Every structure is written in structure tokens, then in C-alpha cells.
Homo-oligomer: A and B are copies of this chain.
Amino acid sequence: MSHTYKYPRPALTVDTVIFGLDVKDYTLQVLLVERAQQPFKGKWAIPGGFVDPGESVDDAARRELEEECGVKNVFLEQLYTFGDPDRDPREHVVTIAYVALVNINDHKVKAGSDASKAEWFPVSRLPKLAFDHRKILKMAIERIQSKVRYRPIAFELLPKKFTLTQLQNVYETVLEKRFDKRNFRKKMQSLGIIKDLGQTQTKVTHRAAKLYSLDRKAYRELEKQGGNLGV
């Protein structure tokens, strides 16, 4: 079956830049797929696919992310729409790019469900990319870094109960920057968005750390006042 329109239409795809956080070795990584076909056969690319008509583009991105990574309910947001007519040599393909952030340790090697193979790359050592994907990725890195300063996405990557050191590690990894431990703790505590659970770690070979959880209600309050996290 085919589809006929009065005027020509560009094709529409969704591409999702999936960032994975490896808190263990302080690296921010990206999931890329190797292209099995021309054009750019053998080059690495940001995973993506066509938007099914009748499907919202947000849903297309969520579907894509789940197929690729098997995750739901992670940070996922629209980045930008790239619409140069020559970004794909075959025809005019407009792509709506999304950014996602997942905990890499939960999604280790997880090959793509289609024919292509998928692999994590540290953002500091990227391979050659297909299409205009280098440009998309550059914008995605800027976005994820600025986003983490304003929204509590760092918390999404941690277990419900976490220590302040774990939280600090997430920030340091995404922002590729170290913070002073004392100042970081003071800042987080003064924001009033984390709750001391009155519990501690167990089975650690050193002083057990206190456990905290995100106080979502307080967070939403802060958010309303345009609150950034000041990190």
C-alpha cells in the first residue's frame, strides 16, 4: 500500500541521543548504533526511526528509547529539530532530536533490537558519525549539562535512597567537573529538597553514610520559583 499527497512532504524521523552515566568511572557516555546500510554504512549514528502517523512525536521518541534501551520513565526531552534539506543524501528528512539520560550500569551492553549493533562511547572519545549527527550530539551535550543544573534529573539516576556522595558523583560526571564536598553538601541541604531518612548504609567497610531521598513536594515548590539548583 502506498500514500499519495497533493504536495510533497519531507520525511519525518525521531533521533534520540541516549546518555549513559557511569558513576563508577566518572564518564558520560552515549549509545550509538552502527549503520548496516548505505548511506554511511559502517559509520556510527544516533539511534532513531520514523514517526508513525497517528503517533505523537513524543511517543515515537519514548518507543524508540524503549526498543533501544528497554527503559521507561527516565529523563527524556525534546532537543531540537534539524531540517536542512541535504542532511540526508537520499531525500529531505527532517528529524526531531531528543535527549535521554539513563544509568549505564542498569543497561550494560544491550544491543539494539534491529540488525545494527549498539555500543556505548564516552563523549570524550567519539567515533566518526553519520549524517549531521556530530552537530546533534554537540547540542545534546550542552543541553544535558545545562539541564542538570536546573532540574532534578540527577536523582532519576540514583536509587530511591541515596547518599550525598552518590549524588555528588552524578553531578560531577555529567558536568565533567569536581565540586568541593563541603560546599556541595551545604548547598543541597540548604535547598531543602532532600530528606534525611534517618537511616544509614550497611555492609560498608568504612563509616556508614546517611541515606536521603528526594523530597518531591519541596522540589516542585522550588521549581515554581524558577529555582535552579545552583550547581
Contacts and interface: CB of A to CB of B under 8 A. Distances in A.
Nearest to A60: B83
Given A3-B4, A4-B4, A12-B10, A56 B85 contact: yes
Nearest to A142: B226
Instruction: Using C-beta atoms within 8 Å of the partner chain, give the interface range for chain A.
Output: 20 to 34
Given A4-B3, A12-B94, A53-B9, A58 B83 contact: yes
Contacts of A9: 3, 5, 9-12, 53
Given A2-B5, A3-B4, A81-B78, A92 B10 contact: no
A176 to B, nearest CB: 14
Interface string A54-92: 111110100000000000000000101101110000001
Interface of A: 2-12, 50-51, 53-58, 60, 78, 80-81, 83-85, 92, 94, 96
A152 B84 CA distance: 26
A98 to B, nearest CB: 10
Given A53-B85, A80-B78, A2 B6 contact: yes
Contacts of A53: 8-10, 85, 92
A145 B209 CA distance: 42
